[in-house]
Amino acid sequence: MVIQDPAVPSSDPAATGRVESPEADAYRAALDVIGAVEPDVASHIRGELGNQRSQLKLIASENYASPAVLLAMGNWFSDKYAEGVPGHRFYAGCEFVDKVETLAADHAKALFGAGHAYVQPHSGIDANLVAFWAMLAHRVEAPYLVDHGVRHVNDLSDADWEELRRSLGNQRMIGMALDAGGHLTHGFRPNISGKLFDQRSYGVDRETEMLDYDRVAALAREFKPLVMVAGYSAYPRKVNFATMREIADEVGATLMVDMAHFAGLVAGKVFTGDFDPVANAHIVTSTTHKSLRGPRGGIVLTNETELVEFIDKGCPMVLGGPLSNVMAAKAVAFAEARKPEFQDYAARVAENAAALADGIGRRGGRIVTGGTDNHLVLVDVRPFGLTGRQAESALEAAGVIVNRNSIPDDENGAWYTSGVRLGTPALTTVGMGTGEMDEVADIICGVLTATEPTTTSSGDPSKAKFHLTDDVRDGNRARAAELLAANPLYPTLGAL
């Protein structure tokens, strides 16, 4: 199991008994301390571990962080306010926050080959907000201040400030369509990014379901966006960021790549050259908790020196005080990702996704785009006569956790959907390989084949309700449990 420190004694593989290890001692003590104040919280923390150990986790955006990463979050760094950046804070007493933030940023720069790393964003959405406002400050606000002969927004007249405010809120963006795999934070109306920017989206080719760069270029030429966003949460292929950069340069757009989902594959050198976002984009955002396997958080990276001062104003622009405890955990996670083992992990995440797609395809599932280049597989479940919602629920009943997801031009809309999204980062972390992926594909297809939609009162097939026999459910649950017993989660913790 990759997250196990080789120096730590190995444990009961079923993770049911008491285990002697430094991290088991640490968690036993921590749960005692928590339980003495609010026993229910200690009990829910134990319950969550039990749940995670009893399910085959195929949520593409989730992973299992190491005990070292998790422990780095639970300490007194959490008590400290540290608005500002290292060496330039609005609070006294930040000596060790400065050290830990600098360490996290240095690890991130080395890991991704970035000139600058800002490690304060609390999440992916915050990282995107920092990037959007950094680009707007750089491209719109700063030139306006120069034109008006002032250094600071507070020096503008009320009328000029109003004109600048309108201009900041009147810029254009393009991003990947939601049903092609894009993300709500890339300019869609329910999210603040869609209220801030006038957005148009680019989709995928109807036949191949692959990103069509000619159509991206045509949209960019016609719409002339200030910001071009690339990146996705449900597109199973690699993206040529060098081509995206050529398009952005041609139309004068700033290229932002949101690598929240596939940052682990960038860190692990699965995506290099033209497919490396950091080498090709003006600005890159990411979460740290998905394929990168760190704490829940965000980062912003750039190689453009002109953008650095604006990114570093994330606080006060859109953030308050940083979560110093999480920055400490980011430093630990980035240190882990700089080890050669992480490259091996990232390669296996992609191999496992390819094996899973192949296994499902051979058993009658339709794989969107016909395969995968990354950590995720998008399955069209209509050949099984199901909606994504039914497939998600039937699989959950059998101990397999996935999420329903739209597929391109989805006829079932964003709530019921026609697809499920599967991801391999978590199962790869517990040590599963391509053989296990074939077994997982067999479990998934066995459950989906046996699931029947029920009929509504009007005689139509239901989009939500379904029937699955207890035999099929229990048989597949037992197979999932066998895989989990052979590849236990957090074996060095044992039973807590």
Ligand X SMILES: Cc1ncc(COP(=O)(O)O)c(C=O)c1O
Residues that bind ligand X (CB under 6 A): 61, 123-125, 128, 183, 185, 231, 233, 258, 260-261, 287
Candidate list 53, 139, 245, 290, residue with the active-site label: 290
Cβ(288)–Cβ(296) below 8 Å: yes
Closer CB to ligand X, 319 or 448, in the complex? 319
| Least gap, CB of 210 to ligand X (angstroms) | 18
Closer CB to ligand X, 376 or 484, in the complex? 376
Which SS3 state, helix, strand or coil, does residue 28 take?
Answer: helix
- Whether 345 sits among the annotated catalytic residues: the reply is no
| Least gap, CB of 133 to ligand X (angstroms) | 16
- Which DSSP letter does residue 9 get? P
| Least gap, CB of 493 to ligand X (angstroms) | 25
Candidate list 81, 213, 382, 438, residue with the active-site label: 81
- Whether 287 sits among the annotated catalytic residues: the reply is yes
User: Which amino acid, residue 208?
Assistant: T
Closest-approach residue to ligand X (CB): 124
Candidate list 296, 363, 366, 382, residue with the active-site label: 296
| Least gap, CB of 151 to ligand X (angstroms) | 33
Closer CB to ligand X, 132 or 384, in the complex? 132
Cβ(114)–Cβ(301) below 8 Å: yes
Candidate list 83, 98, 351, 438, residue with the active-site label: 83
DSSP labels, 337-400: HTSHHHHHHHHHHHHHHHHHHHHHHHTT-EEGGGS-SSSEEEEE-GGGT--HHHHHHHHHHTTE
- Whether 91 sits among the annotated catalytic residues: the reply is no
| Least gap, CB of 448 to ligand X (angstroms) | 24
Tokens of 331: 């430093």
Tokens of 459: 């005689």
- Whether 290 sits among the annotated catalytic residues: the reply is yes
Report d(CA 8, CA 18) in Å as an integer: 15
Q: How many residues does the chain have?
A: 496
Cβ(356)–Cβ(440) below 8 Å: yes
The CB density around residue 177, as the number of other CB atoms within 10 Å, is 18
Cβ(110)–Cβ(103) below 8 Å: no
Closer CB to ligand X, 182 or 359, in the complex? 182
| Least gap, CB of 491 to ligand X (angstroms) | 28
- Whether 363 sits among the annotated catalytic residues: the reply is no
Please state, in angstroms and as integers, the Cα–Cα distance from residue 262 to each residue in 179, 346, 378, 483, following that order.
18, 10, 15, 25
- Whether 83 sits among the annotated catalytic residues: the reply is yes
Closer CB to ligand X, 268 or 399, in the complex? 268
Tokens of 464: 């939500």
Closer CB to ligand X, 319 or 480, in the complex? 319
Query: Catalytic amino acids?
Result: 81, 83, 258, 287, 290, 296
